[in-house]
Amino acid sequence: MAAEPRVLIDATAVPADRGGVGRYVDSLVAALDADRAPITVVCQPRDAQLYSRLAPHSRVIRTAESTATRTARLTWEQTTLPLLARRLGVEVVHSPHYTMPLAGRAVSVVTLHDATFFTDAVLHAGVKARFFRAWTVAALRRAALCVVPSEATASELARVTSADPAELEVIQHGVDVERFHPPTPDEVRAAREAIGLGDTPYVAFLGALEPRKNVPALIRGFAAAVAGRAEPPALVLAGQPGWDSQVERALDAVPHRLRVIRAGYLPFDTLSGFLGGAELVAYPSLGEGFGLPVLEAMASGAPVLTTRRLSLPEVGGDAVAYCGVGAGDVGAALSELLDDPARRAALGEAALRRAKEFSWSASAERHREAYAKAWAVHRRRDR
C-alpha cells in the first residue's frame, strides 16, 4: 500500500468488561498487527498486557492511572492525546468509540457504531443519549472520515444529521473464529458449569439488559412458548446488567415452574460454548448498528432468531430466522423453532456458512484503506 500513514489507535475508551465495542477494538488491533500495519495503541493501564499480546509487533503505550474515570479520560483525550500523536509523529488518530480530540495536527478517523441515539433516544439513558448525539455531530463535522459498521447505520446517520455519505465509510465487523466456533462437548460443559445450568436445554440471549435489546418481550414470549411443555427449556440471559426496569417486571410474571436465569457477564472463553450449546439463540432487538452477538452466535453454529430491524438483516441474511418485536411474535417464532429440530439444524449449518463471509482480516484491510483515504483527503486540502 503506497504512502501508508502511521496510525495511533486510542483504545482508552474500551470498558473493562468487553462488550461489542471492546471486541471490535481488540479484534481490529489484532488483525492490523497481524498484517503488520504501522499502528501504535494507547490504552488504559489494565489493558496494556492484553494489547501487548494482541499486537506483539506494534507499540503499546499505557496511560496514567488517573484516566480511569470518564471525565479524566475525556480530559486526557482533549489535552494529552494530541500531544502524544505529535510526539510519535503519526499521521492519523483513530478514535474507535464516538469521541475524538478536537485539536491537533493528526488526521482524525472516528468510528460511529449506530444512530439509535437519534432515532430511538428513549431506548437509551437520557444523559447517555445526549452525550453520544453531541459527539456524533462533532465527529461528523470535524473528523476527516467516519467509519460505520453497516449500510443501515450510514443511511440513518445521513438521514438524521444530513451527513455527507461520502464521508461515511461502511466497514463491517468480522468474527473471531478462534473464539467463536462450533464448540466441543468440553466447551459446552464449561459454559453450563459457569451458568449453573446442569443438563437442562436452554434458549440463549447475549447482550446488555438495556431497552433496545427488547428483553421483556423475549421473556414474555419465551414464557408463552414453553408454558405447556412437559420439559420446558430454560432461558438464559447473559450480559451486563442494564437500566431496563421492564425486565424485572417481566421476570416477576414468569410462572415458578419455568426457569429464567440471569447469568450476568460470562467469561469470554465460555461464550462459544454458551451460544453453540443452546437450542437456539434469541436476539429480538429493536435495532442495532451492526449486531455482533448475532454474528458470533452464527459462527458458533447456533440457530438464531432475530428481527429485521436496521442492520440485523445485513448480518443474518438468509441464514437466520426472523420475527416481529412484540412478545406474541417472539413467542410464536420460538415455539415453531423449538418444535422443529430439523429446521434448527439447517439454520445452524447456514449460519456457519454465512459467518465465514465476515473476517477481521478483511475488516482490518478496509480500515487501512480508510486511514489512507482520510490522510490523502487531508493532504489535498493542505495544498
> CB under 8 Å to 47, separation ≥6 — which residues?
11, 14, 62
Q: Is the pLDDT of residue 383 over 90?
A: no
C-alpha to C-alpha distances, 154 to 148, 161, 171, 268, nearest whole angstrom:
6, 11, 10, 30
Q: CATH 3.40.50.2000 region(s) of the chain?
A: 7-174+360-382, 185-355
Nine cell digits for residue 332: 410464536
Orientation of helix 215-226 relative to helix 327-338, angle to 10°? 50
Residue that is written with C-alpha cell 472463553 in the block: 269
Mean pLDDT calculated for residue range 324-330: 98
Q: What is the mean pLDDT of residues 362-380?
A: 92
Q: Is the pLDDT of residue 239 over 80?
A: yes
Query: Comparing C-alpha atoms, which of 187, 211, 336 is closest to residue 284?
Result: 211
- Please tell me the CATH superfamily of domain 7-174+360-382, with its number: Glycogen Phosphorylase B; (3.40.50.2000)
Tens digit of pLDDT for each residue in 276-322? 999 999 999 999 999 999 999 999 999 999 999 999 999 999 999 99
**Residue 266 CB neighbours (<10 A):** 18
The pLDDT tens digits of the residues spanning 153-185 come to 999 999 999 888 877 999 999 999 989 999 999
pLDDT tens-digit series, residues 45-80? 999 999 999 999 999 999 987 788 889 999 999 999
Question: If we measure between CA atoms, which residue out of 44, 30, 36 comes closest to residue 4?
Answer: 36
Report pLDDT for 382: 61
Mean pLDDT value across residues 341-368: 98
Give the pLDDT confidence score for residue 189 in this predicted structure. Answer: 97
CB 41 within 8 A of CB 9: yes
Cell of 157: 446517520
Q: Over range 26-40, report the average pLDDT.
A: 98
Q: Report d(CA 81, CA 101) in Å as an integer.
A: 7
| CA nearest to 161, candidates 184, 132, 188, 182 | 132
What pLDDT, in 10s, does the model give residues 100-120? 999 988 999 999 999 888 877
Cα–Cα distance measured from residue 126 to residue 122, given in angstroms and rounded to the nearest whole number: 7
pLDDT of 309? 96
- Least confident span in 30-34, 100-104, 127-131: 127-131
Alpha helices in the chain (DSSP H): 20-34, 48-54, 70-88, 116-119, 126-142, 151-161, 185-195, 215-226, 245-252, 271-276, 292-299, 312-316, 327-338, 341-355, 360-382
Angle between helices 215-226 and 245-252 (to 10 degrees): 10
Ranking 122-126, 155-159, 218-222 by mean pLDDT, the lowest is 122-126
Amino acid identity, residue 197?
A: L
Q: Residue 306 phi/psi, 5° resolution?
A: -145, -170
Q: Do residues 253 and 262 make contact, with C-beta atoms less than 8 angstroms apart? A: no
Query: Quick one: average pLDDT of 38-48?
Result: 97
**Angstrom distance (rounded) from CA 86 to CA 68:** 23
Q: How far is it, in rounded angstroms, from Cα 173 to Cα 150?
A: 9
Partnered with residue 42 across adjacent β-strands are 10, 61
Length of the chain: 383
- How many helices and strands in the chain, by DSSP H and E? 15, 13
- Better pLDDT: 76 or 378: 76
Spell out a b/e string for 79-106, using b for 16 or more CB atoms within 10 Å of the CB, else e: eebbebbeeeebbbbbbbbbbbbeebeb
To the nearest whole number, what is the mean pLDDT of the chain? 94
Q: What is the pLDDT of residue 123?
A: 62
* Phi and psi based region of residue 144 (left: phi greater than 0; alpha: psi -120 to 50; beta: remaining): alpha
d(CA 138, CA 98) in angstroms, rounded, equals 9
Q: What is the pLDDT of residue 1?
A: 47
Measure the CA–CA gap between 354 and 312, rounded to whole angstroms.
13
Q: Give the pTM.
A: 0.93
The correct answer on CATH 3.10.129.10 for the domain covering 185-355 is no
Q: Determine the average pLDDT of the residues in 225-247.
A: 91
